[in-house]
Amino acid sequence: MSDLIQLLPDHVANQIAAGEVIQRPSSTVKELIENAIDAGATDIKLIVKDAGRTLIQVVDNGSGMSDTDAIMSLERHATSKIKKADDLFSIRTMGFRGEAMASMAAISHLELKTKLHDKELGTKLIVEGSELKSQENCATNNGTSISIKNLFFNVPARRNFLKSDNVELKHIIDEFQRMALAHPECAMSFFHNDKKIFNLTPSTLKQRIVGIFGNRYNEKLVPVKEETSLVVVNGFVGKPEFSRKTRGEQFFFVNQRFIKSGYLHHAISNAFQDLIPEKHHPSYFLFFEIDPKFIDVNIHPTKTEIKFEDEKSIYAIVRSCVKRALGLHNIVPSLDFEKDPAFDNIPTSNKSELKQPSIKVDSSYNPFEEKKNSENNYTPPQKVKTENWEQLFENIPAPQYNTTSEVLEKSWSEDSEETDKTIFQLNNQYIVSSIKSGLMVIHQQRAHERILYEYYLKMQDKDGPSQQLLFPKTVELTPSDMAIVKTISDELLNMGFRFDYLNKNSIVVLGTPTDVEIEKLESFMEELVEQFKNESSIEKHDNLSRSLAKTMSIKSGRKLNPEEMRSIIDNLFACQIPNTTAQGKPTLINLTLEELAKKF
């Protein structure tokens, strides 16, 4: 039997490595900008076309490379950052493993121009799928320019897994923002399809935050600062009143490297406890300086996860310094036990006079006469007006009993003819109704989600009803959330939204679906975008229908009147699949008389 095990060819090994390091165009952006920063660049330009499919180019004014280094940079595990194993425990650079350039060269058409500052000419390399096509001297600026063209041209399966341009652009914007926040001292610009997205000048951290997310952040930020023997913490947190339903502005950086940490996020959430509404998220931009020997950044291919040696201490420090920052800026409610309550409500004007309180008595009051008058002038209670969402049900067809809950639906339909039918709400969460076989218990929020989901599914390829706004309303979004909105703009039009783009951070809403409360429009858009990001459905219209249904459904805890309860029941059974939500969770259960009897 012949030998089976053999070494992989270099180009195959590079493609496998690329699958770990370069997962999508945004991965390429991250690696290229990190290389520019490691080269000491103070001015970095990112140029992208077709969300990275056609071109990703990073131009920097860093140190540049010699002819030999330019060639060596394309080899796997070729790095200037590590010479011995111990160096892994003292890393302060962004890249260090020497895989990124080789990985990018393996799956693209790569062009590299680079020049040392003390040289008259630079060098130009052309590489296609790890194969060096040419190397020549060239006239170029100091620093390095790397162009990645036709990403994944030789790995069509991976190229097919890329999402729409707007989704991929959102990921690129996210990576650019992280790098820009980590290095506010560096000028950074970003162009997509020849349009300027960002043009950031060297600045302080706060100025950089405002430059990325908009002028409104000037008033939103609270500074955080803490120095201990273990870690130094600097940065900002958002004031509680500016918390959002989306998780957009949440950034941790360790030694200027962006990281993800659910553990540290929990510490922040704990510090904000009782200060922000439920399901809202605080914004934070926190930077940690810590000795590299106390962390391990080499536990994930993209280096976005790290391991702290003393996690519990870091957690306690983060929680306490954020709470103190909020307290120092009078955001956390406090009690002054030394304050004399007698000094409250002192008149502010010297001319004010304190008056003795007086009691007025109506000597002609006759309680029996009042009772008599109230009986003679009795006015029956007015009919409670239901809310706008019931308009959604006008065009829903009559129930068709062709689902798995056919018996239950027929039972409800037959019972509906009885005028004394019992319907009541339990715990402001469930609708309970008597049926011939026993009791039917409906989860009001899930039931309404199913109703709205099927309603919005019908809105595909046609414009839904829209209420035009008397005064157009501006809604501010983060650049990445704006990319999401652009992704689903056609579907939003079908749902009844009418809007124009104002700038990179804002849209002007001209009309909305009939059920959207105008006063809560910005909050509604935030929640909708967040729901859309969290949905796993690939089909955009289905995804948006699920998101809208979740966002617009009546929530548990809301008191319903009898008309609203009956409307939910009737329209739930008009759905094709009334038993479950779009996510497969049950909307109702049926307790038979036999099951109830067993409880006694």
- Domain 10-202 fold: Heat Shock Protein 90 (3.30.565)
The confidence band for 384, taking pLDDT boundaries of 50, 70 and 90, is very low
pLDDT at position 94 is 57
> What confidence score (pLDDT) does residue 412 get?
56
Q: What is the CATH number of domain 388-600?
A: 3.30.1370.100
Residue 219 pLDDT greater than 60, yes or no: yes
What is the amino acid identity at position 200? L
Q: Which pLDDT belongs to residue 580? A: 92
pLDDT at res. 463: 67
- The fold adopted by the segment(s) 206-328 is Ribosomal Protein S5; domain 2 (3.30.230)
Evaluate if residue 410 carries a pLDDT over 50.
Answer: yes
CA distance 550 to 379: 40
d(CA 549, CA 332): 35
Mean pLDDT across 535-563? 83
Q: In the structure, what pLDDT confidence band is assigned to residue 368 with cuts at 50, 70 and 90?
A: low
Q: Is 533 exposed, middle or buried (0-12, 13-18, 19+ CB in 10 A)?
A: middle
Is the per-residue pLDDT at 556 higher than 50?
yes
Band of the pLDDT at 158, cuts 50, 70, 90? Answer: confident
Quickly list DSSP for 469-529: EEEEEEEE--HHHHHHHHHTHHHHHHHT-EEEEEETTEEEEEEE-TT--GGGHHHHHHHHH
Q: What is the mean pLDDT of residues 240-262?
A: 88
What is the average pLDDT across 372-388? 42
The whole-number average pLDDT for the span 451-472 is: 82
Angle at 204 between CA 198 and CA 208, to 5 degrees: 25
Between 516 and 114, name the one with better pLDDT: 114
What pLDDT is attached to residue 359?
Answer: 60
Burial of 134 (0-12, 13-18, 19+ CB in 10 A): exposed
User: What is the CB neighbour count within 10 angstroms for residue 98?
Assistant: 18
pLDDT value for 361? 59
pLDDT at 83 exceeding the cut of 70: no
Provide mean pLDDT across the span 298-302. Answer: 59
Q: How confident is the model at residue 329 (pLDDT cuts 50, 70, 90)?
A: confident
Which is more confidently placed, 42 or 246? Answer: 42
Task: State the amino acid at position 16 in one-letter form.
Answer: I
Helices (H), 22-80: 25-38, 67-72
Given a cut of 60, whether residue 406 has pLDDT beyond it is no
Torsions phi, psi of 339, nearest 5?
-80, 135
Take residue 52 and report the two structure tokens written for it.
Answer: 């990275």
Read off the tokens for 497: 């939204």
Q: How confident is the model at residue 336 (pLDDT cuts 50, 70, 90)?
A: very low
Range 240-257 average pLDDT: 87
Question: What mean pLDDT is predicted for residues 501-507?
Answer: 85
Q: Which of 29, 51, 166 is nearest to 529 (CA)?
A: 166
Query: Are 568 and 451 a contacting pair, CB within 8 Å?
Result: yes
For residue 386, the model assigns a pLDDT of: 40
- CA torsion sign for 347, 352, 357, 363 is negative
Q: How confident is the model at residue 478 (pLDDT cuts 50, 70, 90)?
A: confident
Is the pLDDT score of 570 beyond 60? yes
Exposure class string for 494-531: b at 16+ Cβ within 10 A, else e: bbbbbbeeeebbebebebbbebbeeeebbbbbbbbbbb
The model's confidence at residue 250, banded by pLDDT at 50, 70 and 90, is very high
**Comparing 10-202 with 388-600, is the CATH topology the same?**
no
Lowest mean pLDDT among 35-44, 150-159, 213-222, 339-348: 339-348
Which one is predicted more confidently, 515 or 475?
Answer: 475
Neighbours of 166 (CB within 10 A): 16
Q: Which of 183-197, 215-229, 489-503, 527-541 is least confident?
A: 527-541
Distance CA 477, CA 85 (A): 45
DSSP H stretches of helix in 329-478: 367-376, 406-415, 444-457
Q: pLDDT at residue 82 above 50?
A: no
pLDDT at 51 over 60: yes
The predicted model gives 234-251 an average pLDDT of 88
Query: Do the strands 467-476 and 430-435 form a parallel or antiparallel pair, or are they unpaired?
Result: unpaired
Mean pLDDT, all residues of the chain? 81
Q: Is the dihedral of CA 402, 405, 408, 412 positive or negative?
A: negative
Phi, psi of 193 (to 5 degrees): 50, 45
Least confident of 46-55, 83-92, 161-170, 231-240: 83-92
* Residue 508: band (very low, low, confident or very high) from pLDDT cuts 50, 70, 90: very high
pLDDT of residue 20 exceeding 80: no
Domain ranges of the chain: 10-202, 206-328, 388-600
Can you state the angle between helices 262-271 and 311-328, rounded to 10 degrees?
30
- Least confident window among 49-58, 318-327, 450-459: 450-459
Q: Rounded CA gap, 203 and 201, in Å?
A: 6
Maximum CA pair distance of the chain? Answer: 117
Per-residue pLDDT, 184: 97
Structure tokens at 295: 């962390």
**Range 550-573 average pLDDT:** 91
pLDDT band at 328 (very low <50, low <70, confident <90, very high): confident
pLDDT at 193 over 60: yes
| 425-429 contacts at long range (C-beta below 8 A, 24 or more positions apart) | 425/559, 425/560, 425/565, 428/556, 428/557, 428/558, 428/559, 428/560, 429/556, 429/557
pLDDT of res. 92: 55
**Percent of the chain's residues with pLDDT above 90:** 44
Characterise 574 by phi-psi region: left (phi > 0), alpha (psi -120 to 50), beta (else): alpha
For residues 142 and 73, what is the distance between their CA atoms, to the nearest angstrom?
17
395: pLDDT strictly greater than 50: no
